[in-house]
Amino acid sequence: MGRQHTVKKFIAVIIICLCSVPLYAADPVVVATFESLGITWDRTGGEDGLCHVEYRVNGEEDWIDGHDLWWDSDDSEYRGSIVLLEPDTQYDIRLTTDGDQDDTVSGTTWSETFNVGTTVELDASSNSKLSISTSGSAGNYRLYTRTGGATIDGNDSIDHGIFIDANYIIIRGVTIRETTSDAISIGQGAHDIIIEDCDISAWGSGLPAGGTSGSSWADNGGIATELWDGNNDRVIIQRNRIHDPYDDANSWCEPESGSHPYGPSAINIPEVDGQWVIRYNSIYSAATFFEDAIMYAETGNTHNNHDIYGNYIQGFWDDGIQIEGDNENIRIWNNFIVNTHHAFAMASGEDDEAGPLYVFNNVAVSTEFDGWCGYNPGGLVKTGSSANGAKYIYNNTMLYDAPQGGYDALGMHHGIGQNNMLELISKNNILQTASGQDAIAGTCASGCSHSYNLYYDVTDQTCTTCVHSTATFDGSQTYDITNQTGTVHVALTNTSDGYDDGVAINNFMPTYEGTAPDAGAQEYGTTGFEVGVDAYDEEEQAAATVGISAGSGTISAGSGSMAGQ
């Protein structure tokens, strides 16, 4: 009996020791795009706490502090991103938790060069749908293009201009117009797709004119996935003009006040898995306003490791960028958004939004145009009680152009808002709202933090170390925008409130002038950022100007033009 007791005691000690060891399930996983690395670290058996990030270019000596990873207690995972990286570069990443558990991994950002194995020369002009069913391969893409350009004119008689049911495909330099449904449709499961330098307009002529609340018309896009739950991985949409759909979405006033807009979207990807990059597109409409510019549906499907940046977005009754669903490592930055209801919508329709989601260094402007009614004026960011997962809102500039000419109301009245928001952290934003409108509206259910913002008038929630004032912008700064592409300048003067009133944020504010960062999307003395199809293309830079009046944030027409004003 004594020996049996000793054996049992020994076994019990082993079990206790094993149970006391954290059961970390896996090494960190790093997922790349051109300029970002997303990190997921399964820590099953671990504890809630901070996980610090350091990174460096492989071969260099010094480490750079990154943004702490977010702890998802439901999934026992750390998740987060490193942003503003160089393409085609290997980085070392060092992770350190509160418990001094270290791990070092590496990741390599995408190259911007894609090797073409086969080129399919398109007709100069066609009235037929291009159906693509033959795949290329990794390292040998199949390119569809024509020297001098190709045009597919559907004459309102074909559903799609291009239907892609293949992998490793590049569509380049194609003009597509007058289709009855989507201009370009990506089939279920198609992956490694690049759509670039195309001109897309007048799609959706086969759908009912003048959408009404409850209409299914919203399933229509200039570029769209074929099905919900499309499982499309590694899709790149860059340097396209997507503009002027066949007909207008209904406004919030049509057919009556409170009617939700339904109608065409420029890019419509309801449920997609895998990595997507949507960058340097010019998305706009002069008369036939969209429902949303870039639309992710309100679903439980996971969107992970997506980058949306450098886009010019104008003319939408609802959302500029609607990114709603289970968002893991979604990064949205350097977009210029004009004339929308909400610039960014992240009020998921599900209860398990994953996080984190980063919205940083964007500029959103509400300018005067006809058609708005007083119902439910929008704002910079919409979120809500079912939108779980961390949402980081950093260094954005929201400008409000006061109503003139007798219009009832304009879009984008408040800054950040919705009742019972969850885990929303805002820092260093300029929230210039309409008089009497909340810069930070509604209530927080849990996990919110607002600090170092410059806001005008009022706020519902506590904003720590914030500045309650009116921003003054340098009158010499301009929006160098013509033909929906160019450079965005929105720097404060060095005497304005908000100048040197921000806080440094690792990786998201790598350099700054003065004693501290400025509020807003641009540091004093810097050159701003470029948007649209010619961004960072020196041969195609625009020349005309649309500028900000110093101290007011209003937009005044220069020699260029903004469609929809």
The full DSSP string for 470-498 is: ---B-TT-EEEEETTEEEE--PBPTTSTT
pLDDT bucket at 542, cuts 50 / 70 / 90: very low
Q: Is the pLDDT of residue 12 over 50?
A: no
Q: What is the 3-state secondary structure (H, E, C) of 67-115?
A: CCEEEECCCCEEEEEECCCCCCCEEEEEEEECCCCEEEEEEECCCCCCC
Cα-to-chain-centroid distance, residue 89: 23
Question: What integer pLDDT is reported at residue 3 of this predicted model?
Answer: 46
Tell me if 550 sits within 8 A of 472, measured CB to CB: yes
pLDDT bucket at 443, cuts 50 / 70 / 90: confident
* The residue to which tokens 């990286």 are assigned: 85
Please give the mean pLDDT across all residues of the chain.
82
* The residue to which tokens 């033959």 are assigned: 134
Question: What integer pLDDT is reported at residue 248 of this predicted model?
Answer: 83
Tell me if 311 sits within 8 A of 531, measured CB to CB: yes
Pick the more confident residue, 533 or 421: 533
pLDDT bucket at 156, cuts 50 / 70 / 90: very high
Question: Which whole number is the average pLDDT over 512-537?
Answer: 91
Q: Are strands 102-108 and 90-97 parallel, antiparallel or unpaired?
A: antiparallel
Question: What integer pLDDT is reported at residue 378 of this predicted model?
Answer: 78
Structure pTM?
0.89
* Maximal C-alpha separation, the chain: 98
pLDDT bucket at 422, cuts 50 / 70 / 90: confident
b/e code 24-44 from CB counts within 10 Å (16+ = b): eeeebebbbbbbbbbbbbbbe
Percent of the chain topping pLDDT 90: 48
What is the C-alpha separation between 59 and 396, in angstroms, rounded?
Answer: 34
**200: nearest Cα among 167, 166, 151, 141:** 151
SS3 160: coil
Query: Worst-scoring range by mean pLDDT, 292-306, 311-325, 343-357, 363-377?
Result: 363-377
User: What is the per-residue pLDDT across 492-504, written as a single tens digit (0 to 9) for each?
Assistant: 999 999 999 999 9
Pick the more confident residue, 208 or 489: 489
Question: What integer pLDDT is reported at residue 408 of this predicted model?
Answer: 42
Percent of the chain topping pLDDT 70: 79
Question: Which whole number is the average pLDDT over 212-238?
Answer: 73
* The residue to which tokens 């559903």 are assigned: 159
Question: What integer pLDDT is reported at residue 370 of this predicted model?
Answer: 61
Question: What integer pLDDT is reported at residue 545 of this predicted model?
Answer: 29
Q: Is the pLDDT of residue 557 over 50?
A: no
Q: Is the pLDDT of residue 344 over 60?
A: yes
Tell me if 564 sits within 8 A of 285, measured CB to CB: yes
Q: Is the pLDDT of residue 352 over 60?
A: no
pLDDT bucket at 75, cuts 50 / 70 / 90: confident
Mean pLDDT is highest, among 45-59, 136-150, 312-326, for: 136-150
Q: Is the pLDDT of residue 229 over 60?
A: no
pLDDT bucket at 55, cuts 50 / 70 / 90: very high
The answer to whether the peptide bond before residue 264 is cis (omega within 30 degrees of 0) is no
Question: Which whole number is the average pLDDT over 288-293?
Answer: 87
Q: Is the pLDDT of residue 401 over 70?
A: no
Tell me if 227 sits within 8 A of 203, measured CB to CB: no
Question: What integer pLDDT is reported at residue 89 of this predicted model?
Answer: 98
